[in-house]
Amino acid sequence: MNKVIASADEAVKDINDGAVLMLGGFGLCGIPENCIAALVRKKVKNLTCISNNAGVDDFGIGLMLKQRQVKKMISSYVGENAEFERQLLSGELEVELIPQGTLATRCMAAGYGMPAIFTPAGVGTEVAEGKEVRNFNGKDYLLEYAFNADFAIVKAWKGDTDGNLIYKETARNFNPMMAMGGRITIAEVEELVPAGELDPDHIHTPGIYVHRIFQGNNYEKRIEQRTVRKKI
C-alpha cells in the first residue's frame, strides 16, 4: 500500500461537506498547518471539528472559522479566538466544550476500539446534562462516547513512507491519540524518509494507523502568546 501523497491538497481531496474531523495540536503547537490551508482552499463547509482548541483569529482552525467552514466545534479551550466567540454568541456555531482529560480519553477510546468510557469529570455539572451516570464503588461516573471521526489530521516532525511517525517534544500533544482514532488518518511531516530509517524505539505512532502521509512545507510554527524576559 503506497501511503505517500504529493501534497496537502491531494491528501484532503475527498474531505467533503459535513465531514467530522479530528485535528491534532495544542494551541498553535503541532497543528497540521498545510492541511488546514488546503481545506481553506477547498472551501469545504459544514465541518465538525474535534480539536483541543480553535486556533486564533488568523491562524490554525481560526482560518476555517473565518470562512464559515465549521458548523460545530468540539474543544476543551477556545479563549484565544475572538471570531469563535462572535459566532458562538450569535448562534452561528454549535459548540461542545469538554474537560480536556475527557477529550483526550474519548480520542484514545476511538483508537482502542472502545465504544465508550466512564469518567468522574463533569459529574454534577452542565456537562452531565442528558447523559448516563453510573455508580462504581460509591462514586459517580459519567458515560461518554468515543469519538467517531471520518478523518484524523495530524502533524509530526518526521515520518517514513510506511507512515511511522515521530513527534518533537511538546508538539506531540494530541497528535498520537488522534492519529489512532480516525477512520482515515492523514499525516503531514516536516521530513519524510524511506521506510527503515527511523529507529523503531523512537516511533510514537506506528504506520498501521496512518493511511496518507506527505512532506509539508513553509511551516510558520507561530507562537500563540510569545512571552520573554526583560533584558537586564
Residue 71 in grid coordinates:
458548523
The CA-CA-CA angle for residues 77, 183, 161, to 5°, reads 100
Q: For the chain, which residues make up each domain, given as ranges? A: 17-97+148-215
Cβ neighbours, 10 Å, residue 2: 6
Check residues 140 and 55 and name the one with the higher pLDDT.
140
In a 13 Å sphere around the CA of 144, the CA atoms on its Cβ side amount to: 28
**Strand partners of residue 135:** 140
The pLDDT of residue 30 is 94
Name the phi and psi angles at 205, rounded to 5. Answer: -120, 115
Interatomic CA distance for residues 152 and 199, integer angstroms = 24
pLDDT in tens, 157-193: 999 999 999 999 999 999 999 999 999 999 999 999 9
Question: Which candidate, 26, 33, 32, places its Cα nearest to that of 171?
Answer: 26
Give SS3 for 171. Answer: helix
Radius of gyration of the chain (CA): 18
Neighbouring-strand partners of residue 21: 49, 151
As separate numbers, helices (DSSP H) first and strands (DSSP E) second, the chain gives 6, 11
Which DSSP state fits 59?
B
Residue type, 26: F
Longest dimension (CA), the chain: 57
Hey, what CATH class is 17-97+148-215 in?
alpha beta
**SS3 of 33, please?**
helix
Alpha-carbon distance 228 to 63, whole Å?
27
User: Contact at 8 Å (CB) between 179 and 110?
Assistant: no
pLDDT for the residue numbered 78: 79
pLDDT at 49 over 80: yes
| CA dihedral of 155, 160, 166, 171, whole degrees rounded to 10 | -20
d(CA 60, CA 32): 8
Query: Which three three-digit cell numbers place residue 176?
Result: 498520537
Mean pLDDT of 34-58: 95
pTM: 0.92
Per-residue pLDDT band for 120 (boundaries 50, 70, 90) equals very high
